[in-house]
Amino acid sequence: MPFDIRTTSPDQTNGDQTKKMQADEIKVASRAPHERAADAINEVFIAKYRRRDGSDDCASIYSALGAFAGFGIQMAIRETLVNPGKMPEDEAFVIIETNDGKRYYFGDLLDGGLFGGQTISVWSLIAGAAQAAGAELLPDVNEIASHNAKVLGKKEFGIPRVAEAFQPRETPHDVLRSDWRPMRELLVRYGVEPRYWGWTFAMAAQYLILRDKGKFDPAIAAAIAMEAAISMSKIDPRDVEPDRNPNSA
């Protein structure tokens, strides 16, 4: 029988409400740490990039989530393999140094976390959401990767190639420099295993692409996120946290 205030006593009503609250608490507690962290991450960036009129700056949010997803993949490799001494840095990555002395990181492990070869990837999470949200044309991630390799050490590196209307408020590199440390602390606080760090940000993007499908083009969201993810997966952690050794716990 549907709930009817005329036939339900106050004691019954309170009991039903208590049971619902308990069920909701169990549901929240049963979610995996990376799922709860993804929700918390979205809360942070939605608040950060809320416009004065109350609307969301979706382009900036997707750019930030992509940047952290890509960089998070590199840091996951460092935390799980390099830092514990299971694999030296020069085996975990192909390291390229440009004329300006900056170092960039490539390799099969990075590509696996970004594009596939594993059960999950940044691309599978973002592309899957974009397709489910109705995107007909997805970004060419091979072309994005090729472009980034060509502009290493140049001013074009790390700048999303999207229309001016969809340029983020901050560059992917700038948002990493300002927010990586608190984001790392958030991941640790929620108990997210390091191997899931990059994917947690991609999952956050997945949630928003599906949520926002009626107000922001999912194909553009995927393009913005992957432009940031691919480029920021390559950068030297010392360019993000100059005072931190990237190969220390």
Report pLDDT digits (tens) over 197-209.
999 999 999 999 9
Domain ranges, ordered by start, for the chain: 1-30, 33-239
pLDDT at position 8 over 80: no
Question: Considering only 30-34, 165-169, 243-247, which range has the smallest mean pLDDT?
Answer: 243-247
- Looking at residue 7, its pLDDT comes to 28
pLDDT at position 94 over 90: yes
pLDDT at position 29 over 80: no
Which residues make Cβ contacts (< 8 Å) with residue 122, sequence separation at least 6?
69, 70, 73, 113, 114, 115, 198, 199, 202, 226, 229
- Looking at residue 248, its pLDDT comes to 60
- Please state, in angstroms and rounded to a whole number, the distance separating the CA atoms of residues 9 and 16: 11
Mean pLDDT, residues 36-65 taken together: 96
pLDDT at position 225 over 80: yes
Provide the whole-model pTM: 0.85
Question: Considering only 23-37, 128-142, 179-193, 232-246, which range has the smallest mean pLDDT?
Answer: 23-37
- Looking at residue 245, its pLDDT comes to 67
